Amino acid sequence: MIVRDEEENLPRCLESVRGLVDEIVVVDTGSRDGTAEVARRYGARVLHQPWADDFAAARNRSLDEAGGEWVLVLDADEELGPEGREALPGLLARPEVEGYLVRIVNFLGEGPHPPQEETAGLRLFRNRPEYRFAGAFHEQIAPSILAARPGARLEPSPLRILHRGYQPAVRRRREKHRRNLRMLERMRAEAPDDPFLLYLLGVEHLAEGEAGAALPYLEEACRLAPPDRAWRPKLVKSLAAALAEEGRWADLLAWLGPELERYPDYTDLHYLAGLAAQGLGRHQEAAAAFRRCLALGPAPSPPYGSVDPAAGGA
Q: Which pLDDT tens digit goes with each residue over 141-155?
A: 999 999 999 999 999
Domains and their CATH numbers in the chain: 2-169 (3.90.550.10), 175-309 (1.25.40.10)
Claim: this prediction has a pTM higher than 0.75: yes
pLDDT of 300 > 70? The answer is yes
Quick count: other Cβ atoms within 10 Å of Cβ 131?
Answer: 22
Residue 221 main-chain phi, psi, to 5 deg? -60, -40
DSSP β-ladder status, 116-126 and 45-48: unpaired
Three-state DSSP state, 218: helix
> In this structure, what is the dihedral angle of CA atoms 305, 307, 310, 311, given to the nearest 10 degrees?
30
pLDDT higher than 50, residue 82? yes
Q: Residue 298: its pLDDT value, please?
A: 86
